[in-house]
Amino acid sequence: MKNCSIMVLVLCGVIASGCTSLGNTELTKETPQTISTKLIKGKTTKDNVLAMWSEPTSRGISTDGNEEWTYQYQKISPLKMIPIVGMMAGDVKGGALDIEFDKRGKVVKYWFDNAKF
């Protein structure tokens, strides 16, 4: 019985120690409104974006030949890690920010999706 109590305490400590995060978790603090004040079309540069959110998760080229950067993130509540309880409690917050830059390195357009599920 004593061993069982110790295991329960250790498990609770591990669960309470924090949440699991993937990608650029700074974006979990952003909203469409805050993003729109930081990404100004024709003005915000790649260097500005790097200073705000560091390296993107991935880079690519759009059909227009512009460079595209994608930032992805996910933050998982510790309650989601508990079997059965995790189905009813805790949350997962995640999303993506896609930014397209013109040949001068300035923002042409962007798309931000954040979700809590």
Per-residue pLDDT tens listing for the chain (117 residues): 555 555 555 555 555 445 565 567 788 788 899 999 999 999 999 999 999 999 999 999 999 999 999 999 877 766 555 565 555 556 667 789 999 999 999 999 999 987 654
CATH 1.10.357 fits 19-116, yes or no: no
* All residues at 6 or more sequence positions from 80 whose CB lies less than 8 Å from its CB, including other chains: 86, 89, 90, 91, 92
**Phi then psi for 52, rounded to 5 degrees?**
-80, -45
Between β-strands 58-61 and 67-76, what pairing exists: parallel, antiparallel or unpaired?
antiparallel
Tell me the domain boundaries of the chain.
19-116
What's the pTM value of the predicted model, to 2 decimals?
A: 0.70
Residue 47: which of 89, 106, 111, 113 has the closest Cα? Answer: 106
Residue 49: which of 21, 75, 30, 22 has the closest Cα? Answer: 30
